Structure 1
Amino acid sequence: MLTYIKESIEELRNNVTLPPRAESSNLMVVVAVFSILFALATWGVDSAFSKMVRLYFDNILN
């Protein structure tokens, strides 16, 4: 386990490079937009299923 951790730290120091600040900012905006769109889509599907289930049980119980 210690060897794995040491090798991981070594790889992070020698092989990993961070993108420039401008590219990071652009990617952050893209991720934020898609996250919001995905959340809205999930909310929409959840609302539709909720209404369908409510309609189904209202018709069975009445």
Structure 2
Amino acid sequence: MMKVINYISESFTELKTNVTWSPWSDVQRYTIIVAIFTVLFSLATWGVDTVFADLLGIFYKWAKA
């Protein structure tokens, strides 16, 4: 159990002393950019999925006839 506690303690120490953190304004800006890209990418994926679903529906309807 002491190994786990020691590991966690050393991890926090390393995060405080050795990691260079970005300024809060940069973090906010990058978060907004990622959120916008995520929404755009999900809309594009939804659009492609809808088009393929419609095309497959047309194909199966044609194949059934």
Report the TM-score when normalising by structure 2. 0.74
Q: Which runs of 4+ in 1 moved over 6 A?
A: none
Q: What's the CA shift string for 1:12-60, capped at 9, x where partnerless?
A: 3432122111110000000001000100110010001000100000001
Secondary structure (helix, strand or coil) at the match of 1:16 reads coil
1:19 maps to 22
Give the number of the structure whose alpha-carbon radius of gyration is greater.
2
Unaligned runs of 5+ in 1: none
1:55 aligns with 2:58: yes
Q: How many residues align?
A: 60
Unaligned runs of 5+ in 2: none
Secondary structure (helix, strand or coil) at the match of 1:18 reads coil
Aligned-residue CA RMSD in angstroms? 2.1
Identity within the alignment, %: 33
Report the TM-score when normalising by structure 1. 0.78
